[in-house]
Amino acid sequence: MARQSRPQKKTVGRVMHEYKHGQLKSGGRRKVKNRKQAVAIALREAGASRSQTPAEKRRQLQKTKAKEARGATGRARAEGRGRKTTATRSTSRSGAARRGTATRTSTKRTTQRTSMRGGRSSTSRTGEMTRAELYQEARRRNIPGRSRMSKAQLKRAVGQR
Main-chain phi, psi angles of 25, to 5 degrees: -120, 145
- Of the listed ranges 27-31, 65-69, 90-94, the least confidently predicted one is 90-94
Is residue 134 within 8 Å of residue 128, measured between CB atoms?
A: no
Is residue 54 within 8 Å of residue 5, measured between CB atoms?
A: no
Is residue 136's pLDDT more than 80?
Answer: yes
pLDDT, residue 90, reads 46
Averaged pLDDT for residues 98-113: 50
